[in-house]
């Protein structure tokens, strides 16, 4: 229960650059960018790598800022629901395997 209370919240925003949409998750000096309008798996993996490294420092959840009802906001909302569930699960795995930094 205390873990839930102290859990960090990372902010995510959907950005439109020209005709391309990306979701940016910000934490500290880092930005994990997930392209929404294109299939760029390597960039998604790079974002995941940053999230895994961040997860070693403690559990977190990602919240979407300024959420609208446009297509990319809907995609981002659903994506984050799933991502948050998986982050929680991966955190549990890391903790039980002693991979956390603390």
Partner 1 sequence: MKIDIHTHTRKCKSGDAPTREITPEDFCAVLTSTDVGIIAITNHNVFDLTQFERIEQLIAGDLQVWPGVELDVVDNDGSRGHLLIIVSPKLAKQFSTELLKLAANATPDEFTATIEEVLLAFDKLNPLYVAHYKKVPMVSESVLEMLESKTKNKNQVLKEVTNAISAGIYISHGHASIYGTDIHDWRKYKELSTGLPDLRLPVDSFEHFCLLLRKDPTTITTVLDRKTSEKIVLKPFPDDSALTITIYNDINVVFGPKGTGKSCLLKAIARHYSENGIDARVYESASDRLDELFDVKGRDLAINLNDYGINYCTNEIESLRNAVEVDVTSLSKYLNFFESKRTNKNAKRIKIKDIAPEEEGSRKRSFSETSAANQKVAEFLEFLYGSASVKNELSAEELSSVAQTLSNLLARLGRRKWEEFLGWKETVMLNSVIKIFRSEVARKTGMPELPTTTGFREYAINRIGIEMNSAEIIKGIDTEIPQQRDDVGSLGTSKGRLEYCTAFHFQNGSVSDSTLYSLSKVKKTPQKDFANYVRRIRNSTYSPELFQLIADLNEIEDVESIKTIQELLLFRRYFSLGGVSYSPSSGEASMVMLQKELGTERDVYILDEPERSLGNEYISDVIVPMIKDRARAGKIVFISTHDANIAVRTLPYNSIYRCHGGNGYSTYIGNPFTSDLVCLNDVDDRLDWRDISMKTLEGGKEAFGERGNIYGRS
25, 32, 36, 64: which one contacts partner 1 (CB under 8 A)?
A: 36
Distance CA 58, CA 20 (A): 32
Q: Is residue 36 within 8 Å of residue 98, measured between CB atoms?
A: no
**Residue 99 lies near partner 1 (rule: CB under 8 A):** yes
24, 26, 37, 58: which one contacts partner 1 (CB under 8 A)?
A: 37
Secondary element (H or E) of residue 72 = helix 71-96
Site for partner 1 in 41-60 (CB under 8 A): 41-42, 44-46, 48-53, 55
The rounded Cα 49 to chain-centroid distance in angstroms is 11
- Enumerate binding residues for partner 1 (CB under 8 A): 34-39, 41-42, 44-46, 48-53, 55, 71, 74-75, 78-79, 81-83, 85-90, 92-94, 96-97, 99
């Amino acid at each position: 229960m205390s873990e839930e209370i102290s859990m960090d919240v990372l902010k995510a925003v959907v950005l439109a650059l020209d005709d391309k949409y990306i979701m940016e998750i910000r934490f500290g000096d880092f930005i994990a960018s997930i392209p929404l309008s294109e299939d760029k798996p390597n960039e998604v993996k790079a974002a995941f790598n940053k999230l895994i490294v961040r997860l070693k420092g403690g559990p977190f959840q990602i919240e979407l800022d300024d959420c609208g009802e446009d297509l990319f906001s809907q995609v981002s909302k659903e994506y984050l629901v799933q991502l948050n569930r998986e982050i929680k699960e991966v955190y549990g795995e890391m903790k039980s395997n002693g991979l956390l930094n603390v």
